[in-house]
Amino acid sequence: MGKIICCGLGPGDPDLMSVRAAREVRGARHIAFFRKKGHPGQARRIVEGMLAEGAIEYPMEYPVTTEVPSDSADYVRLLDGFYDEWAERLVMLASDNDVVVLCEGDPYFYGSFMHLHIRLQGRAEIEVIAGIPGMAGCWNSVGRPIALGDDVVTVLTGTLSEDELVRRMRNSDALVIMKTGRNLDKVRRALASAGRLADAWLIERGTMPGERVVRLSDVDDTDCPYFAIVLVYGEARRMKAAE
Amino acid sequence: MGKIICCGLGPGDPDLMSVRAAREVRGARHIAFFRKKGHPGQARRIVEGMLAEGAIEYPMEYPVTTEVPSDSADYVRLLDGFYDEWAERLVMLASDNDVVVLCEGDPYFYGSFMHLHIRLQGRAEIEVIAGIPGMAGCWNSVGRPIALGDDVVTVLTGTLSEDELVRRMRNSDALVIMKTGRNLDKVRRALASAGRLADAWLIERGTMPGERVVRLSDVDDTDCPYFAIVLVYGEARRMKAAE
């Protein structure tokens, strides 16, 4: 009887993987990971050079990505079928082997493995290994504390409405904005409305080759950064000497 | 010319330290860490059994902890002097050696190393190694995703006023409450006022020996948990099949 081990890989630099995750990745005989069709996949790229000889790879290729609107019934049906099928295959594999599933960042923090996690409940033994969340890799890249003292940190997704973004950006010491991608213009407008644009950083490919750390106000409108997180640093509200 | 390497140790389980941090800890000849006088210190405990033979340890012992009120002038003066002195000693040490400074969790996320970080700017080469924040270790201990889809996550400290806690607890999908300790009763009252107490978990010593994961409403009033974080999980607002 095997189990399904979801390894949080951390922010991207393989050296920032946990000792436990690195051991599982190196020892894995069966290893699965999500990717877009025709792409190597970010998770697989992080473990390049680490896999054991003879390890069997299972790329879980999304049936669609941006070709079909993500709120259409077709899209939801296709993706649901895809997760159902892979949950089934992983359960079969785990009946007599351990299977490692790769996950960028920390699996329990906005991780796509959760679509499988829900479907695997009660059907296989699951182990999840925590990773450094992508945001933590990014705030380390700037080399400043994201929060100290009584700072409030708010994590937002660029997918929220502009109104909600503005309201929440006005009302937090530190900000982390995930899922920027095609929402970056909206995020920038919201930060400007909230009076926080001058303090915002964009970190693209944090801790990875090609890392870029820039002030968001210096990013060109036509620029479309990949794997990017936007950060606004806290000011160490009521920080005490004891901390 | 050496440097000062601040190693984020992660949430407590040494196996959740990053590969890079573990390598630095094992290879260190000079190793410093904060602790309360007469106590082994949490950071030092995490690396037990990992230090090289002949490694020189520098326990940085707080001159006061709870004996003097933390908002008194005496307290601030004592602590300031303590950090000044240790910054000076670390700079001297780093003039011809690498020095590893241990830090629980992620150093840039409410980390006490930041009192030294400020004082070391421009005086020594500093390297900071990211770690899994304590909160991520804790939310993994419950075995549920803290946030998915469009969930908003708010990180609060138990040191905030009860009014501010209530207002912010009402207005977020997921919640992380740090620095609970002697503020736990206030945190509990605030969660009750915000209608979130039934959903709150308390995780004590997350990922460490003696870990305890309980519903906050089941914690006795007289109980005073150590190294505890309170969590309220998000409900995966508008989660899409694509994520």
Q: Which CATH class is domain B135-232?
A: alpha beta
B68 band by pLDDT with thresholds 50, 70 and 90: confident
Give B112's contacts in chain A (Cβ within 8 Å): 243
* Mean pLDDT over the full length of chain A: 93
B243 band by pLDDT with thresholds 50, 70 and 90: low
Count of helices and strands (H, E) across chain A? 7, 10
Give A112's contacts in chain B (Cβ within 8 Å): 243
Q: Say yes or no for a CB contact (<8 Å) between A19 and B20.
A: no
Question: β-pairing, B125-129 with B3-8?
Answer: parallel
pLDDT in tens, B169-180: 999 999 999 999
Mean pLDDT to the nearest integer, B74-85: 91
Mean pLDDT to the nearest integer, B135-161: 95
Q: Does residue B61 have a pLDDT over 90?
A: yes
Q: Say yes or no for a CB contact (<8 Å) between B19 and A14.
A: yes
Residue in chain A nearest B178 by alpha carbon: A150
Judged by DSSP in three states, B63 sits in coil
Distance from CA of A214 to the nearest CA of B (A): 19
Of residues A15, A150, A243, nearest to B20 (C-beta): A15
Q: Does residue B76 have a pLDDT over 90?
A: no
Q: What residues contact residue B54 under an 8 Å CB cut-off, 6+ apart?
A: B29
Q: Does residue B60 have a pLDDT over 90?
A: yes
Of residues A18, A136, A137, nearest to B17 (C-beta): A18
pLDDT in tens, B120-143: 999 999 999 999 999 999 999 999
Residue in chain A nearest B109 by alpha carbon: A147
The H or E element spanning position A25 is helix A19-27
pLDDT in tens, B15-52: 999 999 999 999 999 999 999 988 889 999 999 999 99
pLDDT of res. B168: 97
A22 band by pLDDT with thresholds 50, 70 and 90: very high
Q: Would you give the distance in Å from CA B168 to the centre of its chain?
A: 21
Count of helices and strands (H, E) across chain B? 7, 10
Distance from CA of B96 to the nearest CA of A (A): 24
Residue in chain A nearest B74 by alpha carbon: A241
pLDDT of res. A237: 79
Q: Say yes or no for a CB contact (<8 Å) between B155 and A154.
A: yes
pLDDT in tens, A169-193: 999 999 999 999 889 999 999 999 9
pLDDT of res. B242: 59
Question: β-pairing, A3-8 with A125-129?
Answer: parallel
B218 band by pLDDT with thresholds 50, 70 and 90: very high
* Mean pLDDT over the full length of chain B: 93
pLDDT in tens, A103-137: 999 999 999 899 999 999 999 999 999 999 999 99
CA–CA dist A192, A170 (Å, integer): 10
Catalogue the long-range contacts made by B61-66 (C-beta closer than 8 Å, 24 or more residues apart).
Answer: B61/B34, B61/B35, B61/B36, B61/B37, B62/A242, B62/B34, B62/B35, B62/B36, B62/B37, B65/A242, B65/B36, B65/B37
Question: Can you tell me which residue has the tokens 């509990």?
Answer: B188
Mean pLDDT to the nearest integer, A63-70: 76
On the 0-12 / 13-18 / 19+ scale of CB atoms within 10 A, A55 is middle
Mean pLDDT to the nearest integer, B190-215: 96
Q: Say yes or no for a CB contact (<8 Å) between B154 and A159.
A: no
Residue in chain B nearest A22 by alpha carbon: B19
Give B243's contacts in chain A (Cβ within 8 Å): 110, 112, 115
Distance linking the first and last C-alpha atoms of chain A: 47
CA–CA dist A6, A172 (Å, integer): 33
Question: β-pairing, A30-36 with A174-178?
Answer: unpaired
Q: Which fold has domain A3-132?
A: Cobalt-precorrin-4 Transmethylase; domain 1 (3.40.1010)
Q: Does residue B241 have a pLDDT over 70?
A: no
Q: Say yes or no for a CB contact (<8 Å) between A130 and B136.
A: yes
A71 band by pLDDT with thresholds 50, 70 and 90: confident
Using an 8 Å Cβ cutoff, are B206 and B16 in contact? no
Q: Does residue A241 have a pLDDT over 70?
A: no
Residue in chain B nearest A131 by alpha carbon: B132
- Each domain of chain A, given as residue ranges in start order, spans 3-132, 135-232
Q: Say yes or no for a CB contact (<8 Å) between B241 and A155.
A: no
Mean pLDDT to the nearest integer, A126-151: 95
Q: Say yes or no for a CB contact (<8 Å) between B152 and A160.
A: yes
